[in-house]
Structure 1
Amino acid sequence: MKIQLIRNATLWLEYGGLNILVDPMLMDAEVMPAFPNTPNELRNPRVGLPETETDYLNPDLLIVTHTHVDHWDEAAAKQLGKDIPLICQPGDENVFLGAGFTNVTAVDKKHEHHSVRFARTSGHHGTGEIGERMGNVSGFVLEADGEPVTYIAGDTIWCEEPAEAIRQYTPEVIVVNAGGARFVEGDPITMDGPEVVAVKRHAPSAHVIAVHMDAINHCVMSRTDLATYLASEQLDGQVLIPRDGESFEF
């Protein structure tokens, strides 16, 4: 398999004979203001899309874990072909149908598309009242013959749901959304350094890939911050932290 970080949580996977685009945020740099009630006023996205040979506007399948604007934006809705099959979490399908997409599947538990099997997982996009306001979020486990079991955790903090997904599916590749995104008040709504460490220690033999950094204003933990923290926990080099456009093969 090949997995490439485009930007933020936007991923390109070549898996089981399919080209899969995950959580496309395709807007240009700085076209959107900072999220309200966040620690700075930097405009979003902080960086543009990388130059890449990947034709990510023409996937075989779309996966959208949830519809927050840094995972699904107007640019993606306009630029992607409306007949591309799209899988999402229950309750989000009307967003895509309303945008003109014609082949939308809301996955409750499991789904199969050609040679790839998908299982939807859940999580918590923060704690307490903020976590409730952030709404439902999902992840997906991918399985195909001859391919490593791959878990895309989505916008979740470390909690029982991702821990259970790792126990149940024993993934060989785990993609976590890091960055420690937060508002002025409350706890982080995506994984911070200690939570990425928790994932790696819960799945020590897995390839853990941390994304969702250096692109959105309220992701206050940078790639450099995460690498420094991992080194302090004797995990230097044991979590992959891709640059925009960087890819890995497993």
Structure 2
Amino acid sequence: MDELTVHTIGGPTAVLTYAGSRLMLDPTFDGPGEYRNGPVTSIKLAGPAAGPREIGQVDAVLLSHDHHIDNLDVAGRDYVLGAPRVFTTTAGADRLGAAATGLRPFEHSDVGAVRVTAVPALHGSPEVGLRNGPVVGFVLESDDQPTVYVSGDNASLDVVAIVAERFPDIEIAILNVGAAKLAARGDVFLTLTADLAARAAALLGVRAVVPVHQDGWGHFTQGAEDVVRAFAEAGSAEVLHDLRPGASVTL
């Protein structure tokens, strides 16, 4: 069947069912709490809509990066360490053990019938992105299936344009939004704003967008309602699938 099912868990975390495989995005399973890492303090406001036991095993984890708590928290790391396969940055793979495969942009590997290709992502402005460390997004392809773009923590439309040029057949985009901002990184958005997400959808020419990374953390400065508004104002409300944690959609 020519379809993708997305089940949102909260924050950046979602489970995808695609071409016979189950894939998890950025596992975050901790309850609310505060995390400190040098000058950066991150506050988690809400726990997940489902935990690891309810979700069960997946075929692979697609991890934008492992070194920020809002993409891989403590319980999420435990889940990753027990996963059969993990795809992430090359730096992250060195920290996550034998099951982890590090992919540079445009390198690929296969999970069952799914080709997983890493694509660029920029976690803030060019200057802040260097300080934030390497991140990746992913493109998923399989015969007779829609091509899917998973942005990871990317804040750059220029990066989206590169992905769109390299993969002109993308039909579905899962975009990390939330307009994340941290005082320690200055007045810079670290992920897509709602308005940039709507522009990214137009650049990609997709038929469906599922936003994630828009709830559950204190440094997300925009939420689901902002995304709904931005897509409506851009005249593209019909492509947006407004999923709140625990909801799912088949596209």
TM-score of Structure 1 vs Structure 2, range by shorter chain: 0.7 to 0.9
Match of 1:63 in 2: 62
Match of 2:6 in 1: 3
Deviation, 1:78, is: 2.3
Q: What CA distance in whole angstroms lies between the structure 2 residues aligned with 1:35 and 1:214?
A: 21
Deviations, residues 88-122 of structure 1 (Å, cap 9, x unaligned): 1111112211xxxx322112311112211011101
Match of 1:190 in 2: 191
**Structure 1 unaligned runs (5+)?**
none
Contact 2:27 2:79 (C-alpha < 8 Å) held by counterparts? no
The amino acid that maps onto 1:18 is: S
Match of 2:237 in 1: 236
Matches within 5 A, 1:81-92: 82=82, 84-92=84-92
Contact 2:7 2:16 (C-alpha < 8 Å) held by counterparts? yes
Q: What CA distance in whole angstroms lies between the structure 1 residues aligned with 2:83 and 2:29?
A: 18
Q: What CA distance in whole angstroms lies between the structure 2 residues aligned with 1:35 and 1:46?
A: 17
Match of 2:114 in 1: 116
Matches within 5 A, 1:1-250: 1-28=4-31, 30-33=32-35, 44-51=43-50, 55-67=54-66, 68-79=68-79, 82=82, 84-97=84-97, 102-108=98-104, 109-169=107-167, 170-184=169-183, 185-250=186-251
Q: What CA distance in whole angstroms lies between the structure 2 residues aligned with 1:146 and 1:216?
A: 37
Deviation, 1:188, is: 0.6
Q: What CA distance in whole angstroms lies between the structure 2 residues aligned with 1:76 and 1:245?
A: 17
Q: What CA distance in whole angstroms lies between the structure 1 residues aligned with 2:38 and 2:230?
A: 28
Q: What CA distance in whole angstroms lies between the structure 1 residues aligned with 2:234 and 2:22?
A: 35
Normalized per residue, the structure richer in helix is 2
Contact 1:177 1:212 (C-alpha < 8 Å) held by counterparts? yes
Contact 1:58 1:81 (C-alpha < 8 Å) held by counterparts? no
Using a 3 Å threshold, how does the CA distance of structure 1 residues 94 and 193 change in structure 2: closer, same or farther? same
Using a 3 Å threshold, how does the CA distance of structure 1 residues 33 and 160 change in structure 2: closer, same or farther? same
**Structure 2 unaligned runs (5+)?**
none
Contact 1:180 1:190 (C-alpha < 8 Å) held by counterparts? yes
Q: What CA distance in whole angstroms lies between the structure 2 residues aligned with 1:83 and 1:48?
A: 21
Q: What CA distance in whole angstroms lies between the structure 2 residues aligned with 1:105 and 1:195?
A: 30
Contact 2:172 2:207 (C-alpha < 8 Å) held by counterparts? yes
Q: Secondary structure of the residue that 1:131 maps to in structure 2?
A: helix
Deviations, residues 142-197 of structure 1 (Å, cap 9, x unaligned): 11122211110100013322211122212111111111011232221100022112
Q: Identity of counterpart residues, as a percentage?
A: 21
Using a 3 Å threshold, how does the CA distance of structure 1 residues 72 and 197 change in structure 2: closer, same or farther? same
- 4+ long deviations beyond 4 Å: 33-38, 51-54
The amino acid that maps onto 1:19 is: R
The amino acid that maps onto 1:230 is: F
Contact 2:124 2:156 (C-alpha < 8 Å) held by counterparts? no
TM-score using structure 2 length = 0.87
Q: What CA distance in whole angstroms lies between the structure 1 residues aligned with 2:79 and 2:157?
A: 35
Deviation, 1:237, is: 4.2
The amino acid that maps onto 1:203 is: L
Deviations, residues 58-114 of structure 1 (Å, cap 9, x unaligned): 1111111101111112212224562511111111112211xxxx3221123111122
